Structure 1
Amino acid sequence: MDLLRSHEAPGQRSSDAQSQPPTYHEHAPLVSSEMASDAHTALNTDGQQPGEGYPYANEQEQSIHPYGEHEPATTKPERTWPRNGVRSSRLALWEWKWEFLSMVLSMACFAAIIIVLLYERDRALSDWHFTIAPNTLVSVFSTLTEAGFMLTTVACVGQLKWIYFSRSSRRLRDYDYFQEATEPIGALRFIWTINIRAKLAVVGSVIALLSLAVGAFTQQIISYSLRWVPASEYADRVTFGSSNAYDSGIGLYRQTAVDGDGNLNSVNTVMAEQVQSSMTGAIMSGLYDLDTSINVACPTGNCTWAPFTTLGISAQCLNVTTNMTATKPSYNGLVGYTYTLPGNVSFDMTVGVTSSEGAIATSFRSVTHTGWNYSANWVEPTLVKLYAVNVPVSGAGDSDDPIPLEWAETEGIECTIGWTALHYQNLSVVNGVFEPGLTTEYALVAVPIPGETKYDNDDIDDEYYVNSKFAIAAPDNSSGNASFYINPNDHAFIIQQLNGSLATTSDADAGKALLSSSNLTERIQNITTAMSYIVAQNPNATSVYGTALAQESRFWVARPE
């Protein structure tokens, strides 16, 4: 088939194809933008000046024809076209070499952005060792990507402009629309006016509009976030006390004496010079709601520990108010009630009445029972059982109109204080504040030590009790260590301290401290918590190492969810 087509009426073919000028052909050289610097003369093939031979040259709405108003004469000088179509195609492609290079540069820079983002995602800022910041590097690559892409887009829209005008008569102002098609406002006008008449050119305008947002969104791709990360330089300085045995080194000996009937009586006595003052201090700090000493080391102020189990002391308290019974005995000049708790412990709560001073009440009373078993060489996990009654009294009266003790205002408490296994989870220090996390208590049972002999109560010689062994009553996979040892001498000493502090009335300082508490159960638990921290600091304690945390700036790459 000939590369040249005649420009005749439909249905006719020229006998001499070379005598007619060629129409647009796919192998013809592409039209350059310099060939139409002036829209009024670029397509005037007769060589006429603007206005000559064009009936609408002086009107506002003008049209551009592919060959002017009339077809060119057949006598126009013949143009020689390349005979080799492949060579012509290669020459045409070579004219686009800069556009191809710009696209290669654009894609390479876009790939570089992806590589930088993938490499730096969730990495520490300290790992970046280049002078230029990551945001700046991404911004540079983004600018190059946009520039290369827009260079090709502008060239394509320019070529599509001439194809658009070569196919049929067009309005002259469409030329201006094409000229501004890659500018922000011009792109909007081009899309609105030209739309589907030049589909590919409209795509170029859309690309030009979208390119405006590239720079803004690029700045949002990388940001920085502060995260808590392990600080390895403090690995051996983050500690918390833990113990599987409690033995402060105090001794217990038997004192014998002859009573009035001539019988020998033995009394177990803790050696005064070996009394552990820290345990006494823990009881007092919990009783009076003071700060508790905690054996924790966290140099950064933020640390965490893995779950672990340690020996401790806990309190199991029940409000037995609804299960109490009350009787009203008669006293000379006094009125009151006798309260009996479910543990078969009774309290006489009395109110003295005078005409001038009003009511004088014994409003708080508590007693303790020990869990010590003197007939064996081991002790029970229970230290003491606390029974307490709190009777708020208000108002005044006289002997003829005594103050009633309202049942609804009376509170009865039973607490069992004893040894336990404490399993800590999520124990941490946050901004310098100790957080115990989730603490699970496991009940203990006494386990006789094989090969040891029981203590002989008839033996009046001074001797020490043997150590005692305890085990978790119902261990599970999360309870951790299941075996613990306690020196019975320490057991006896703690019982003495608890008896002296908790068996009291509202007339004593300890009773006033318990009475002033809005939550008696919480106050008792504060005491046992402070005692547990002391157990973790005894001479047999070990250190549980944790992880120090420090803030570190890290890259955060925004990505769609």
Structure 2
Amino acid sequence: MEPLIERDGIPATEVKPARPKHNRSFISYCFKTDWWLENGCSILSVLFLMGMIILLAHIDGQPLSNWPFAVSPNAFISVLSTASKACLIQPVSECLGQLKWLHILQSKRVDRITKLQDFDNASRGPLGSLHFFFTRPTKSLMPYLGCIITLAAIATDPFAQQILSFGKHLALADGVHSELRTSQYVYSWNEDAIISLERATRLSLDNEPQLPNLSCTGFLCKYPPFASLGVASECQDVARRSQRVCYPYETGRNCTFTTPIGFQLQTWQMAYNASLLPDYNNTVASISTYNYSNLFEGGPLQRLAILMAPIVYYNQSNDSQIFECTIKLYAIEYTKWNTTYGIINPGRTKTFPPAYLRGTVAPDAMDDDDLANFTVTDPGFNYQRKFGITSLNILSIVDILDANLIVNEWSDWGDTAYAFLSNSHDIPATVNRVTAGLSYQMIDGPNATVTPVPVWNDVITITVHWAWISLPVTLVLAACLFLLVIVYQTHHAGHLIWKSSLTPLLLLQESYPLLSAGDKPVWTQFYLKKRTAVIANHLTQ
């Protein structure tokens, strides 16, 4: 056994007091001593973290197609996060190594030297840090903080993987527009336009009206509110106010109904026990009137009466339905219309009655190509208030309505209008569909006004979930604070900076005191061999 020798009058069993504090300032001490590597790693860790935050802020909400590199954004974030973690682990490990020497100098425990292994294991990784909590070699809080940082760093990579997500969102297409065509002035339609109006009106008898031709060159087009010239209907049930006169005959009866405004409608009903019944539920009659001059006085474009009576005659006379409908020219407002993937999504419509503007040409003297001008006086109408339509087009509208809604005594069961009206469950709704289909086709006329419409595309965008970056930020701040505290404790106590070095354990008592971890012990050949032999003997059985 080596003898215990006193030095400087201090027994070998006692700890020598620390040397006086450093004369240099704390700032100078941080950057001009052996802490430069740890300080540099901490600065790099902060820079990598800041780079990651700046990158995330730049790409948040951006389309993935704008990403200029072949490597995915997730890969960039993972690299920056891993680099930041690697840089912060180095100073934390060295600070834990320094704490074992501070523990030797400051702890009052007699067995403190036997706990050095716990500090050394904690500085080597997560398993040693976890074991440190079970052995609890010290009551100081700082070593436990270092162990918590080491353990929490394990979760950095999983957290970084959750920062970015990719989803489909709508984005405004740059430099791409669609067109909205609306009719302010309806000049003479050509033959194709007339055929299109007739087809749309006929289809509306039994189906939803054919929607207007609203084009869109992208995923979504949101059309601004617009107005166009069109027609609309208003129907009233006048069955109770109509007069009925019926004449029975052998297989049924024939009835004539007179409506309040003077329409006379005739229909027939078969006896209940008739051997041959048609495929329709009702017998239908409808007539209309049209006064050209009245139109320009604010009157209706067309008035019609429609009667529906059950075909089977068996005390069912009270089931007859009689409607008087008025169809007028209107300025129609369209709001909240859009198209998605080429499918038109109808919005809202609102009608505004226009007033005729008298000109130099009297209504009765108008030629086919003369333009009838109207204006909307309603203060709630926020669009171009003037509209116009040629007299020939007005007559075309009346003819189209007559062809689809009028059933007279010469109509037979094969007539299209008769077939649709006789099976209708809601006459006002049917008439409204017809006028709506006609109005939709009038929107895009041959002299339509063109308005550019922005286009939205369905693009994959990058979304940053900022909550997941909380752990990397917290770890970097905690590691920097941990380093700052350990450096301050070492500076304040005047201790040498040994960190993870094992040199103090190799020194002989007779060796000269070292001033820093960079100094080498001044050993003679004899003492060097002697100390090596002692250590080597502990390494063999």
| Structural mapping, 1:70-149, within 5 Å | 71=14, 85-86=22-23, 94-149=33-88
Classify the secondary structure of the residue corresponding to 1:145: helix
Find the aligned partners of 2:317 and 2:160 in 1 and give their Cα distance: 74
Q: Which residue of 2 aligns with 1:475?
A: 379
Find the aligned partners of 2:119 and 2:20 in 1 and give their Cα distance: 33
Task: State which drifts further: 155-164 or 179-188.
Answer: 179-188
CA offsets 1:319-378 (integer angstroms, 9 cap, x no match):
x278556757452333476666565645454322275516678824243434534378x3
CA root-mean-square deviation: 3.8
Q: Which residue of 2 aligns with 1:311?
A: 229
Find the aligned partners of 1:559 and 1:94 in 2 and give their Cα distance: 38
1:20 corresponds, among 10, 23, 39, to 10
| Structural mapping, 1:111-260, within 5 Å | 111-166=50-105, 167-169=107-109, 170=111, 174-181=115-122, 183-191=125-133, 193-194=135-136, 197-232=139-174, 234-235=176-177, 238-248=178-188
Task: State the shift of 1:474 in Å.
Answer: 1.1
Find the aligned partners of 2:331 and 2:377 in 1 and give their Cα distance: 10
Task: State the shift of 1:468 in Å.
Answer: 1.4
Q: Which residue of 1 aligns with 2:350?
A: 440
Find the aligned partners of 1:88 and 1:485 in 2 and give their Cα distance: 90
**Residues 528, 327 of structure 1: CA spacing in aligned structure 2 closer, same or farther, 3 A cutoff?**
closer
| Structural mapping, 1:350-389, within 5 Å | 350-353=268-271, 355=273, 357=275, 363-374=282-293, 378=296, 380=298, 382-389=300-307
Task: State the shift of 1:421 in Å.
Answer: 1.5
**Residues 393, 301 of structure 1: CA spacing in aligned structure 2 closer, same or farther, 3 A cutoff?**
farther
Task: State the shift of 1:152 in Å.
Answer: 1.2
**Residues 104, 391 of structure 1: CA spacing in aligned structure 2 closer, same or farther, 3 A cutoff?**
same
Classify the secondary structure of the residue corresponding to 1:85: coil
Find the aligned partners of 2:99 and 2:258 in 1 and give their Cα distance: 103
Is residue 289 of structure 2 the alignment partner of residue 289 of structure 1?
A: no
Q: Alignment length, in residue pairs?
A: 452
**Residues 240, 433 of structure 1: CA spacing in aligned structure 2 closer, same or farther, 3 A cutoff?**
same
CA offsets 1:207-235 (integer angstroms, 9 cap, x no match):
12221221111122222233333334543
Find the aligned partners of 2:235 and 2:281 in 1 and give their Cα distance: 23
Structure 1 unaligned residues grouped into runs of 5+: 1-16, 22-44, 46-66, 73-78, 251-272, 395-401, 457-461
Does the 8 A contact of 1:466 with 1:487 survive in 2?
A: yes
Classify the secondary structure of the residue corresponding to 2:100: helix
CA offsets 1:293-335 (integer angstroms, 9 cap, x no match):
74333333533322222112223345x2785567574523334
**Residues 85, 492 of structure 1: CA spacing in aligned structure 2 closer, same or farther, 3 A cutoff?**
closer
What one-letter code is carried by the residue in structure 2 that aligns with 1:496?
D
Q: Which residue of 2 aligns with 1:556?
A: 463
Does the 8 A contact of 2:268 with 2:283 survive in 1?
A: no
2:432 corresponds, among 516, 520, 525, to 525
Find the aligned partners of 1:126 and 1:353 in 2 and give their Cα distance: 74
Find the aligned partners of 1:532 and 1:88 in 2 and give their Cα distance: 87
| Structural mapping, 1:526-541, within 5 Å | 526-541=433-448
Q: Which residue of 1 aligns with 2:489?
A: none
Q: Which residue of 2 aligns with 1:485?
A: 388
Does the 8 A contact of 1:245 with 1:486 survive in 2?
A: yes
1:278 corresponds, among 178, 196, 199, to 196
**Residues 368, 152 of structure 1: CA spacing in aligned structure 2 closer, same or farther, 3 A cutoff?**
farther
Find the aligned partners of 1:453 and 1:292 in 2 and give their Cα distance: 35
Q: TM-score, normalised by structure 1?
A: 0.69
CA offsets 1:474-522 (integer angstroms, 9 cap, x no match):
132x531111011122212321331232121673321211233444334
Find the aligned partners of 2:116 and 2:35 in 1 and give their Cα distance: 22
Does the 8 A contact of 2:239 with 2:323 survive in 1?
A: no
Find the aligned partners of 2:68 and 2:273 in 1 and give their Cα distance: 88
Classify the secondary structure of the residue corresponding to 2:356: strand
Q: Which residue of 2 aligns with 1:302?
A: 220
Find the aligned partners of 1:187 and 1:84 in 2 and give their Cα distance: 31
Classify the secondary structure of the residue corresponding to 1:484: strand
CA offsets 1:239-295 (integer angstroms, 9 cap, x no match):
233111112168xxxxxxxxxxxxxxxxxxxxxx99933333332232353883743
Find the aligned partners of 2:261 and 2:138 in 1 and give their Cα distance: 94
Find the aligned partners of 1:323 and 1:179 in 2 and give their Cα distance: 103
Q: Which residue of 2 aligns with 1:455?
A: 364
Does the 8 A contact of 1:384 with 1:499 survive in 2?
A: no
Classify the secondary structure of the residue corresponding to 1:94: coil
Find the aligned partners of 2:350 and 2:134 in 1 and give their Cα distance: 71
Task: State the shift of 1:137 in Å.
Answer: 1.9
Does the 8 A contact of 1:315 with 1:524 survive in 2?
A: yes
Classify the secondary structure of the residue corresponding to 1:276: helix
Find the aligned partners of 1:545 and 1:88 in 2 and give their Cα distance: 70
Task: State which drifts further: 418-427 or 497-506.
Answer: 497-506
Task: State the shift of 1:195 in Å.
Answer: 9.2
Does the 8 A contact of 1:445 with 1:470 survive in 2?
A: yes
Classify the secondary structure of the residue corresponding to 1:299: coil
Task: State the shift of 1:435 in Å.
Answer: 2.1
The structure with the greater share of residues assigned to helix is 2
Find the aligned partners of 1:177 and 1:411 in 2 and give their Cα distance: 98
What one-letter code is carried by the residue in structure 1 that aligns with 2:389?
I
**Residues 226, 131 of structure 1: CA spacing in aligned structure 2 closer, same or farther, 3 A cutoff?**
same
| Structural mapping, 1:422-437, within 5 Å | 422-437=332-347
CA offsets 1:149-187 (integer angstroms, 9 cap, x no match):
111111122222332344122477744443343543443
**Residues 275, 136 of structure 1: CA spacing in aligned structure 2 closer, same or farther, 3 A cutoff?**
closer
**Residues 387, 295 of structure 1: CA spacing in aligned structure 2 closer, same or farther, 3 A cutoff?**
same
Does the 8 A contact of 1:366 with 1:502 survive in 2?
A: no
Find the aligned partners of 1:359 and 1:81 in 2 and give their Cα distance: 120
Q: TM-score, normalised by structure 2?
A: 0.72
Classify the secondary structure of the residue corresponding to 2:23: helix
Find the aligned partners of 2:36 and 2:65 in 1 and give their Cα distance: 43
Classify the secondary structure of the residue corresponding to 2:82: helix
Q: Which residue of 1 aligns with 2:527?
A: none
Find the aligned partners of 1:275 and 1:162 in 2 and give their Cα distance: 96
What one-letter code is carried by the residue in structure 2 that aligns with 1:127?
N
Identical positions, percent? 21
Task: State the shift of 1:199 in Å.
Answer: 0.7
Task: State the shift of 1:80 in Å.
Answer: 11
Does the 8 A contact of 1:195 with 1:202 survive in 2?
A: no
Classify the secondary structure of the residue corresponding to 2:162: helix
Classify the secondary structure of the residue corresponding to 1:533: helix
Does the 8 A contact of 1:328 with 1:338 survive in 2?
A: yes
Task: State the shift of 1:146 in Å.
Answer: 0.8
